[in-house]
Amino acid sequence: MEVIGLHVQFTTPRGVINAVNGVSFTLEKGETLGIVGETGSGKSVTAFSLLRLVSNPGRIVGGAIRFEGQDLLSLSERNMRGIRGREIAMIFQEVMTSLDPSYTVGDQLRELLQVHKGHRGREAQAAVIDLLTRVRIASPETVVDRFPHQLSGGMRQRVMIGMALACEPRLLIADEPTTALDTTIQAQILDLLDDVQSELGMAMVFISHDLGVVTRVSDRIAVMYAGRFVEMGDKFQIFDDTLHPYTRGLLDAIPRSGSKTRPLQPVQGTVPDLHHPPSGCPFHPRCARAEARCEIDLPPFQEWRPGHWAACHFAGDFDRSSPSPGEVG
């Protein structure tokens, strides 16, 4: 996949919001790109845009999204429906609103397999059992007849992963797939995604507000703030050679193994109101290193080192001491 200069706007009674503002990235077969940032930074809107699922009052107003050479923004809705689920699948953040409460797990999986693969009757039932087994659900023959509310949060998430994998997609978009799960179940879900990705050789976009979780599953990490990417590189560059003060703030807020007495240092302030974004660098009101130039000039997102991008006038010009990925608790 190749995303070039993606712009997404929402028209509201208070004015226009630029929810995604010039995002660009590439993704190779089998690679995982993690997108991390605070709530309201534009992560989920970016994810929905890749499948053209941004609904009114939002709309994609600029850029290109190319998947295996096809410009997804130029496809008809009918052709796009053929790509959703079959070529590109998504695990949605809100599991309980993604599963229909009035149908059993088996009913929903059978419908998916019928639409995309033409499975019916016993063939569909066998495929459903196979899917539930693949995502490590115990006693799938029993679970298939249960309704979503009868399952635990971890089991519902496994069902959602099974639905996403039903057609063995080439790209999986996972939007906060471990939110609201306890640490043990979270680790199981991450292990499951890693195993399935290796088995199918698919690429993945993994979205989270938790930099520690993103680091565990990602080859490269993009840090997002106020609708823009502010830093992108492999996980060792992000941790060991940080270029942006916002990334540094996220790193300082992560608990470290063996540092029980070290107080956490949250990023001060809040994500700006995108109805009235700051002038210049959008992070400057929260940045301790901001200078007069930062209030006026928007820093370009540029490659400072091979494969390592950042949008900061003074990228890398600060103390880089940080935990390595293995030290993140």
pLDDT digits (tens, 9 = 90+) for 132-184: 998 999 899 999 999 999 998 889 989 999 989 888 899 999 999 887 778 88
Residue range of the domain that includes 204:
26-51+76-87+169-270+286-304+314-329
Residue 104 lies in a domain: yes
Residue 65 lies in a domain: no
Point out the least confidently predicted range of 99-103, 128-132, 185-189, 315-319: 315-319
Specify whether 247 is located in the same domain as 326: yes
Specify whether 107 is located in the same domain as 222: no
Contact 205, 171 (CB under 8 A): yes
Name the domain count of the chain: 2
175 by DSSP, 3-state: which? strand
Cα–Cα dist 189/191, whole Å: 5
Residue 41 lies in a domain: yes
pLDDT level of residue 327 (50, 70, 90 thresholds) = very low
Task: Calculate the alpha carbon distances from 145 to 98, 102, 110, 325 in Å.
Answer: 18, 12, 12, 42
Query: Would you give the DSSP letter of residue 49?
Result: H
Specify whether 162 is located in the same domain as 175: no
> What pLDDT score was predicted for residue 257?
65
Once rounded to an integer, what is the mean pLDDT over residues 117-125?
84
Specify whether 44 is located in the same domain as 184: yes
Residue 10 lies in a domain: no
Specify whether 327 is located in the same domain as 185: yes
* Confidence check: pLDDT of 295 > 90: yes
Structure tokens given for 139 = 């006693």
In the block, residue with structure tokens 């993140």: 328
Contact 201, 190 (CB under 8 A): no
* Confidence check: pLDDT of 259 > 60: no
Specify whether 223 is located in the same domain as 319: yes
Cα–Cα dist 267/245, whole Å: 10
Once rounded to an integer, what is the mean pLDDT over residues 49-54?
96
Residue 198 lies in a domain: yes
Once rounded to an integer, what is the mean pLDDT over residues 259-276?
78
* Confidence check: pLDDT of 210 > 90: no
Last residue within a domain, chosen from 166, 194, 213: 166
> What pLDDT score was predicted for residue 85?
87
Specify whether 143 is located in the same domain as 215: no
| Most distant pair of Cα atoms in the chain: their distance | 69
pTM: 0.90
Specify whether 250 is located in the same domain as 105: no
